[in-house]
Amino acid sequence: MDRERSHIESYIESSTHRFILFDEPNQDNYMNFVEIMKKNNCVNLVRACEINYDANLFTQQGITVHEMAFRDGGIPSPEIIDKWLKVLKQSYTQNNEKPDIKTTIAIHCVAGLGRTPVLVTIALIEDGGKPLQSIGLIRDIRKGAINKPQLEFLKKYKPTAKKSCIIM
């Protein structure tokens, strides 16, 4: 039985990255996600939840799956943040190799309302966005995103490097 997706994919861009935010794909509907990712020149998928589908479904389609699971409703560990920042840097490098094509990162957790928005908000802050503005942008496109502990964490999050940001 094909599980209905609770949320249509959401898109957000910063000056250096594009993101597609999803809820969790499964064995039955993963090709819908692959089609959206290919249409958006997306070769990186971040799984921010437990393993509930075979990553080979995506790798066989030329998509790299990055594992970054952390507790539902929680905040990412420093190790997860470091892994996320490395994917951001890799994506930015890909953007510089093909300046006319902006590489996109797809990211999901189970519902696409907690862990996914937290990681994307970190990326926006790393790009120079202000925490509350970045949180607001995410909540505009993902209603119900980011719980109170996550909100408090993001309000205090400090970027690792100074950059300018233009959010489109």
Is residue 127 among the annotated active site residues? no
Q: Which of 23, 42, 49, 109 is catalytic?
A: 109
Residue 146, judged by CB atoms within 10 A of its CB (0-12, 13-18, 19+), counts as buried
Rounded CA-CA distance 11/104 in Å is: 10
Q: Which of 87, 7, 89 is nearest to 47 (CA)?
A: 87
**In this structure, what token pair is assigned to residue 1?**
């039985």
Q: Which of 72, 82, 100, 140 is catalytic?
A: 72
Is residue 109 among the annotated active site residues? yes
Q: Contact 115/48 with Cβ under 8 angstroms?
A: yes
**In this structure, what token pair is assigned to residue 46?**
């971040």
Beta bridge pairs of residue 66: 46
One-letter amino acid at 150 equals Q
Active-site annotation, residues: 72, 109
